[in-house]
Amino acid sequence: MLIALLIWRLMERQMRLFIDNNDILLPGWPGRQTTKPTSFMMTTKFEHIMVVRMGDTVQLAKPLDEIQLAYLKALEVNPDIFTPN
């Protein structure tokens, strides 16, 4: 549990540092922008991701949207993380 909470907090720290360093806002709760995204807020943006495997091919059921890509950029995570080949 402690390790999960540390990772949760590191994600928040990374997103907030990205915002401070790039002077931007991230999409927050519906219809609002935020300078203090939370890890919970970020996870709600990814709850409907579906990864599909067909034979040797792994792909997303539908492409990531702009909000999801913005959060991945703030976390410095490559969008290909969902479909390792």
pLDDT at residue 44, as a whole number:
93
pLDDT at residue 62, as a whole number:
94
Nearest Cα residue to 28 out of 19, 39, 37: 37
Q: With bands split at pLDDT 50, 70 and 90, how would you rate the model's confidence at 83?
A: confident
Can you say whether the dihedral through the CA atoms of 27, 29, 35, 40 is positive or negative?
Answer: negative
Q: With bands split at pLDDT 50, 70 and 90, how would you rate the model's confidence at 11?
A: very high
Per residue in 71-82, pLDDT (tens digit) is 999 999 999 998
User: 78: domain range?
Assistant: 2-82
Total domain count for the chain?
A: 1
What mean pLDDT is reported for the chain?
93
Q: Is 18's pLDDT higher than 80? A: yes
Q: Is 85's pLDDT higher than 70? A: no
For residues 28 and 19, give the distance between their C-alpha atoms in angstroms, rounded to a whole number: 13
